[in-house]
Amino acid sequence: MGKGFEIRQISDFPPDAPALYNAVGWSTYTARPDFLPQAFRGSLCVLGAFEGEALVGILRAVGDGVSILFIQDLLVRPDRQRQGIGTALFQALTARYPNIYQLELLTDINPATDAFYRSLGLQPAEDIGCRSYIKITY
């Protein structure tokens, strides 16, 4: 238990997940009704931050859990951001996979999120001589 929230593993797709994705502006995830439930089912690990039964944050990770762990989604309801929820979700994930070789996350270029991810010990790929390539299809 943290500051009024609890981190729990999510095994079934929560019905309030689409509202959380929309609240942070990730409408691409909710434009197709089947998209998120399928993505959740195919994930290695999904953690939720709950205030009672209300979902206020999600971390969704994909990968093999040994050589690679990719944080696909890390989002917190806007009115609950900057209250330790994202950090708690990240720490819960890394506690589950303490010996992971490579932990990755792809995000928008934004000074606020840059500072947050750096505070978690992550660094831009360019800082370690790497480059990320991506292809997005809609």
Q: 81 vs 24, 46, 54, 84, CA distance in Å?
A: 10, 19, 15, 7
Stated pTM of the model: 0.92
DSSP 81: T
C-beta separation of 89 from 73 below 8 A:
no
Name which of 107, 5, 84 is nearest 50 in CA terms. 5
DSSP 24: T
pLDDT band of residue 1 (cuts 50, 70, 90) is: very low
Pick the CATH number of 6-128 from 3.30.390.50, 3.40.630.30, 3.40.50.10090, 3.40.50.10860: 3.40.630.30
Read off the pLDDT of each residue in 36-42 and give the average, rounded to a whole number.
95
Burial category of 106 from C-beta neighbours within 10 Å (exposed 0-12, middle 13-18, buried 19 and up): exposed
Query: What is the structure's pLDDT at 43?
Result: 97
Report domain extents, the chain. Answer: 6-128
